Structure 1
Amino acid sequence: IDLVADQKVIVIDGEVPIEEACDILTRNNISSAPVYDASTKSYSGMFDWADVMTYLLIVLKKKDASKQLEKSDAELSAEFNDLVKLASHCQPVPVKLASDLSKKNPFYSVLPETSLLQVVELFGSGIHRVAVVDADGVITAIFTQSTVDNYFYQN
């Protein structure tokens, strides 16, 4: 996918606290970034402002968050339980627990040889961005709907 060939990808370490991850987004003037979890050697998701808003709602509604902990493990993921426990005790929350928390912009990846048509079809299904991942599993670019819109507008 040549439209994003020379892109510098900002990746957030999964252990970084959410507050620092927000600083990374702001400093780099980006709305989202992939989160890499070194313990699993994989990307745990995308972290964006919708995740921040969801996290803030959890923190601000501590009573509701405590009720969430009473639900069974089948109802809630272990990561969500960890996030609520840390937030309830005012502990730093690793960004890997908040990536894709909002469920609005999940992590999707494609190979570099993926056609523009295939990416546009993904965008048509409601996805807003995809990571271009090489054969070694490294993200080389982030392909967004805006990139495609600009390409079609200019051509």
Structure 2
Amino acid sequence: MATPGHDPSSSGSSAPQTPQLSSPRSSIDASKSPRLGASNLHIQNPSSAAQHRQSFGDLRYPPSPRSTRQSSVSSIAIQDLIDNPPHRTAPDARFAHRDWRTIRVAELSSPEDLKFIDINANVEEATNLLIDSGAPVLLLRDSQSTAPVVGTFDYNALNAYLLTAVGIAQPSEENAEKFAKMAQSAGAGKPIPLRDVRDIGRKDPVTFLPESANLTKAIETFGRGVHRVLIAREGVEGNIEVTGLLSQTRLMRFLWDNGRNFPLIEQLYSQYLRDLKIGSNSPISIK
């Protein structure tokens, strides 16, 4: 029996020690971390990959470019354009206090607008003239300087020629052989005369208006699908002499810039298209 103050471990004979068994609950409690409060919780946001679960359709087909395409013009820019329409130049005093319907087409054109080219010139020469002159269209005529206009050549005709030359556009059956030979010549680097390409693609008919025609007649002509008219004067021996060119764009610009001279036109600018009943409410689609 051990006396008080005597340490059994210090005695010479050591008694066998019984291993200490710890309770499973106590070991779990000892290793358990402190209880987390609501303020210590940190929830990570799911990644963008987790937010978007790909469907079988996404895996089978490439994504549509429409899903990532941005609008080229924002709604703010559109509203700003509506609130601040294009700037007008000062109205021409020549047309003040006149009825716009009686203005002659010759008053809106100038001989300087005309660019002529020989119909036997090649496409490269015509393209260079289009670029260098800045003209929207070239007037084709025979070698004689006083010969009448027999056709036009513009950027639409140039695009139609290029598409045919590379084999993208398919000509009609009656012109297939002709255009196939032309494409071969173009591929070989041979010059192609305008005479051979003037019938390619859809072209506006060459439309003439006399110098005395008024703007009402011009608008009626444009309403039939014509984009530009040649202003002509009857020359010697009945030959038609072209003295000017009037396009839809120039006419619309004239009416916009000089609207203050024409109250009938000016009052239309503040109205809505639906109130003016412009366009069709029942379009017809044919496939």
Q: Measure the CA separation in 1 of the matches of 2:117 and 2:215.
A: 27
Q: Check if 1:141 corresponds to 2:247.
A: no
Please say which structure displays the higher CA radius of gyration.
Answer: 2
Q: Check if 1:13 corresponds to 2:115.
A: no
Code of the residue aligned with 2:249 in structure 1: it is S
> What residue is the counterpart of 1:113 in the other structure?
212
* Offset at residue 63 of structure 1 (A): 10
* Offset at residue 100 of structure 1 (A): 5.0
Counterpart selection for 2:181 from 85, 105, 108? 85
Instruction: Give the alignment of 1:114-133 within 5 angstroms.
Output: 114-133=213-232
Q: Deviations over 1:61-97 (max 9, x none)?
A: 18957xx6xx4xxx349xx82x542332233211133
> What residue is the counterpart of 2:133 in the other structure?
28
TM-score relative to the length of structure 1 = 0.79
Counting matched residue pairs gives 144
Q: Measure the CA separation in 2 of the matches of 1:148 and 1:33.
A: 19
> What residue is the counterpart of 1:53 in the other structure?
159
Contact 2:165 2:182 in 1 (8 A): no
Contact 2:160 2:169 in 1 (8 A): no
Unpaired runs of 5+ in structure 2?
1-105, 259-287
Unpaired runs of 5+ in structure 1?
none
> What residue is the counterpart of 1:150 in the other structure?
253
The 1:37/1:43 distance shift into structure 2, 3 A limit, reads same
Q: Measure the CA separation in 2 of the matches of 1:148 and 1:54.
A: 27
Q: Measure the CA separation in 2 of the matches of 1:49 and 1:106.
A: 15
* Offset at residue 58 of structure 1 (A): 1.1
Q: Measure the CA separation in 1 of the matches of 2:111 and 2:120.
A: 27
Code of the residue aligned with 2:216 in structure 1: it is L
The structure whose residues are more often strand, as a share, is: 1
For the aligned residue pairs, the C-alpha RMSD in angstroms reads: 2.6
Code of the residue aligned with 2:158 in structure 1: it is V
